Amino acid sequence: MSFANGKYDQATEENLVHSGSQFVPKGIAMHYTVTDTLRNAINALNGRRLSYTFLIDRDGTVVQTRKPDIHAAHAGRSHWKAQSGLQNTSSLNRQSIAISFVSRGYFGHLVNGFAYDTDAHGNIVNDEYPASEVKRAPSLYDPGWQPIWHRYTDAQITAAERLVNSLAREYPSIEEIYGHDDISISGKSDTGPLFPMQRFREQFNLEGGLGFRTTIQSPDGIAELRRGPSSRHTSLGQLHNGDTVFVRAFAYTYRNSSALAVDRPKRRYLTGWASVDTDGGNTHAGFVYAGLFANTPLINQLANRL
């Protein structure tokens, strides 16, 4: 399993409407297609002029749409462990290779052994999937939200392991692997909790750095570590002035009432709530309001609005 002139020897090829430009890949972004078949995924991508570098079908078949160092339109507004210059329009499209699994994503209902979705009138809008192919689980960044996730197949995970291993060897500039839900918190839900992200990070040495380092600087000396990205969420504990945190990513919102929504009428805006690592373990510990940080990676226009 290797690359020759940018072509993965375990993949078939498919051209998409969207074409990209050359870049130096620093990460691998994992997605799911929200479709039932590979062909429907490709049709949806072309209809919206979006793209992934690779798609992995339910049987493990890998499809390549471009060389890995030609960017795909996949991440939208997104960021990860930014050190400076973070703004609403930041995107990882020109930093990450995109891999997407053919998957329905998640379902709203599991009744009589079958999972499905319904429209506003209660009509079933997709094929029903047996309970053996789904699992209810909490979202990493919003544990109170526990939808019914479409399981990845063993063949998909095996194909992804081989592909990620080959990419990491071929492109030494790659430092990290992350899900769309990591880089667009509260904006996107893929790849979800059923993908073994931490195992991939450790197995292929793709954990990357710790993120933006700062300290707590609160008027009353205390910052609450929250379960989710707002003051409405349960406190997981308290941090105190001088405590070090590493900012992994800021959450997003679709509400233009966000204090950081300075480029209306776009669809997704940064919030002031940041996912942080509190012990240098390179894992998400909870959310802290960034107005209580000594400094942030946000551009001044946004930082001044906290």
Cβ-contact 32, 100 below 8 angstroms:
yes
- Write out the chain's pLDDT in tens, 306 residues: 889 999 999 999 999 999 999 999 999 999 999 999 999 999 999 999 999 999 999 999 999 999 999 999 999 999 999 999 999 999 999 999 999 999 999 999 999 999 999 988 888 888 899 999 999 999 999 999 999 999 999 999 999 999 999 999 999 999 999 999 999 999 999 999 999 999 999 999 999 999 999 999 999 999 999 999 999 999 999 999 999 999 999 999 987 666 666 665 567 899 999 999 999 999 999 999 999 999 999 999 999 999
Cβ-contact 208, 100 below 8 angstroms:
no
Q: Name 161's Cβ contacts closer than 8 Å, sequence gap at least 6.
A: 200, 203
Instruction: Say how far residue 125 (Cα) sits from the centre of its chain.
Output: 26
Question: Hey, what CATH topology would domain 212-303 get?
Answer: SH3 type barrels. (2.30.30)
Residue 286 has which token pair? Answer: 């909870």
Cβ-contact 276, 297 below 8 angstroms:
no
Residue 111 has which token pair? Answer: 């009744």
Q: Name 266's Cβ contacts closer than 8 Å, sequence gap at least 6.
A: 77, 88, 89
> Bridge partners of 293?
216
The end-to-end CA distance of the chain, in Å, is 48
Cβ-contact 285, 274 below 8 angstroms:
no
Q: In the 8-state DSSP scheme, what is residue 241?
A: T
Q: In the 8-state DSSP scheme, what is residue 131?
A: G
Could you give phi then psi for residue 245, rounded to 5 degrees? -135, 155
Rounded Cα–Cα distance for residues 72 and 64 (Å): 11
- Identify the sign of the CA torsion 184, 187, 188, 189: positive
Rounded Cα–Cα distance for residues 171 and 3 (Å): 10
What pLDDT does residue 266 have? 63
Instruction: Say how far residue 184 (Cα) sits from the centre of its chain.
Output: 5
Number of Cα atoms under 13 Å in the Cβ half of residue 23: 21
Domain 3-103+152-203, classified CATH 3.40.50.300, yes or no:
no
Name the residue ranges covered by the structural domains of the chain: 3-103+152-203, 106-150, 212-303
Cβ-contact 297, 248 below 8 angstroms:
no
| Whole-structure pTM value | 0.94
How many CB atoms lie under 10 A from the CB of residue 143? 14
